[in-house]
Structure 1
């Protein structure tokens, strides 16, 4: 499992998109099956941003499904194909 913690870059939208994209491509290249993205709990805005990024048509092709952790709202799991 690859983990991406967005806490250090939460203020920069371009860095967030770049980190998400790089992590997805790295996971696909290395054969990882799960990516754990940690947007943190906060107000939920960063999590919404992550989910919106993952919902883009060209990004959806890279993974099988997205799960939000019921026990930890500050965590998103992306299951790859």
Structure 2
């Protein structure tokens, strides 16, 4: 199964870069028919995870994917699943 993996560690303090990286990953998944995007936000204080979840809850973004899965074995990442 093809998937896209993005690591947000490099841009954790730049909101525009975070949003751009997330938008690009979701656009690419929809365009190429990829079923899963893995988002690595890291453990830390949880602020980056909250930002990612808030981004994913936007109505225009939420309409593009099927569900979000929190990794039970690694709390520093999320999986966004698509139906194409």
Matches within 5 A, 1:19-58: 19-58=21-60
The two structures have a TM-score, normalised by structure 1, of 0.98
Counterpart position of 2:80: 78
**2: CA distance between counterparts of 1:43 and 1:56?**
22
Deviation of 1:12 (Å): 0.2
| Secondary structure of 1:63 counterpart | coil
Deviation of 1:14 (Å): 0.6
The count of residues paired between Structure 1 and Structure 2 equals 81
1:13 to 12, 15, 39: 15
| Secondary structure of 2:66 counterpart | strand
What CA RMSD, in Å, does the superposition of the two structures yield over aligned residues? 0.5
| Secondary structure of 1:35 counterpart | strand
Deviation of 1:37 (Å): 0.2
Deviation of 1:57 (Å): 0.6
